Structure 1
Amino acid sequence: MLTIPTCNSIFTRLIPFLPKNPNSPKPSPTRFVNFHTPKRFACVGLHTLPMSASSSTKLAVEYAKSKRSSCKKCSEPIAAQALRLGLVSRDPKGFDVTKWHHLDCFNFGSDLVASVEKIKGFQSLKSSDQEALKKLVGESQEEDTKESKYAIEGRQSSQGKRVREVDENENEIEESSPKKAKSSKFDGQAKLEISFSVSEVKDKYKDATLSPKWKAFQTIIFLERDEGLHDSSKIAAFDFDGCLANTNVKRVGPDAWSLMSPSIPDKLQSLYKDGYKLVIFTNESNIERWKNKRQVAVDSKIGRLNNFIEQVKVPIQVFIACGLGKVGKADDPFRKPKPGMWHILEQHFNSGISIDMDQSFYVGDAAGRQKDHSDADIKFAEAVGVKFYVPEEYFGV
């Protein structure tokens, strides 16, 4: 089969071999068409080849003309006259679209910048800013090289494990030793998509101040280390609203909740004594959606979680996904059913202890049943690769 890019000189040279019969099928950009031609051109596919990222995306740098633009990574405003970097791409209508970033928020990547001098607007910068940009690009590319090296070494050290596809919903992981714990089936995909950096951990979520012990990273808020919490290979994970706590979207405040079942404190305490690490994974898009009342939303959610932990008298690690669902853009990687919150736990908040997926589990009420508001919880458990229970089944609600 020969694939010919349209609008290419190669196509012109092959015109004599194409049929001249007016009844012959017309070439389609999305399907393959058979022609009665010499065998070496018996099947010709016509489609437009996608442009590479390097040819379709360019970089631009300039001093912000006003403070109206905001950074596409951190969403914070870019001050007037501040140095800003932009990714310039062509939209379907043929117009250039620029996504501006703070200098410190921009991720150059290993192959995005061939030469700093070729960045649009570079020559117009002050000499001091030119040097600063050169240094930043050099450090970024050096860091990417190190990360690639560590990633390769990590894969090579992971001997004895192979993953093969069973069907579209399930992976089977075989270990060289049956005593080794099964690890998450989403390892490759999630690790590539999410990069955690301590320098990005904040004491505020955008313009909202967080309570003591609570931190923010990108679109998640987390309780990093509750007193008495121990890391473990066994994870007992739970949703919060509708699973552990009875809440109502019309009621706001740290005290606007109650236990879903009186058996919950004893059950959690028993798991803790059995060596489980207790974790809550909860979505809370109101924190992102209530731009004018974000502090109220943050205080309400964190207040309820703090009060819940105090009532059940057991240490729990908590991750809150604040991002919105897919609305004309890519899904938030942390919002369930995406496994981003689990990835952060497994890779950065469990002291390097490998998680035993056979002994770990997740409990949530969004199971896709007729009365459920969604199937986010059961899909989250499937994406992670752990057993799933509904609250009625696990707590006897």
Structure 2
Amino acid sequence: MSAQPAAVPHLEIDGVSKRFGETEVLRDVSITVPRGTFLALLGPSGCGKSTLLKIIAGLETQTGGHVRLDGEALDGMPAYRRDIGVVFQSYALFPHMSVKENVRFGLDMRRLDKAESAARVDEALELVKLGGYGSRMPSELSGGQQQRVAIARSLAIRPRLLLLDEPLSNLDAVLRKSVRVDIRELHDRVGTTTVMVTHDQEEAMSMADQVAVMAEGRVLQMGTPEAIYERPATRFVGGFVGSPPASLMKLSRRFEGGWRFGEIEWQMEPALARRLDAIRRIEVTIGLRPERMRLVEAGTEGALAAELRSSEYLGGERLLHAAVGQERIAALVGGHLSGLPKPGEPVHLLPDADAVMLFDAENGERLDP
């Protein structure tokens, strides 16, 4: 029996680079996206994620590399011929047009007949749960409703690909959480391959099937949210992904055995000591997730002796900020614990040995498999 040919990726970004003068904003970026996937491009401001989105959309031209959609090269193809829907951060609704007219705009540009156009507009508005809002003006809608109109306008053209550029950044914190659920549920119903740009790791982790973490124009790691959280490939990814962020601390081996933070010795649990012995390093950077730390009694094996600096009450949880010598550490504990130490008093924090991340102290790469 002959081997079956490999499936063609729905979206393929192959060695894409981009320069603005002498500034290189994208460096040999390669990503493949299967059909129906929700991909988040996640990274800090200036990492190149929005530039990459514009290149996919045809609003910017790459310096090198190729972009393909369904195996078709998009290089040099005008944006209007790509059949890609784009939802901008600012929604870009026409204020003088009704909701229906806004959603119909892309169809009018394609000269669809009136009956087909009306059917698609109604279908798109139903998909975003705005079926009764067609006659309203944008000024009569909330921010979340305006965002859904913008998404409906992109879906009405039945795009091969949907691009979302920081879609939630203009919404308040409460509305942002509800709209991200709406967008994810819409994706599950429609199934359109979607690429979203965001700097908010919570949005990326909760909405996407796949996350590509970017920094300085490169993709550092791509995988499921779970894989990136549990097994970050680099120190940057380990510190950037997670809320609250992980505590990253330099750990040095003592000549007489054992480990220390600066001058502070740490009698760690045997399981973690064996992991460190196996990687044979004099110095490492460790990453401690606040939610994988426990407040324990003095003398508990593996506990870090620290000084409490401050705490944040978050309702069901409390975030403790403490110091181990010159290093800072955070721990997320129950919000209703009684008898918590006061700032300036000692605390003892026990990390989950299996959840401790180990990175090379110099290049930041993950050390153990």
Larger radius of gyration: 1
By relative contact order (CA 8 Å, sep 6+), the higher-ranking structure is 2
Shorter-chain TM-score above 0.5: no
* TM-score, length-scaled by structure 2: 0.23
Whichever structure has more strand as a proportion of its residues is 2
* TM-score, length-scaled by structure 1: 0.22
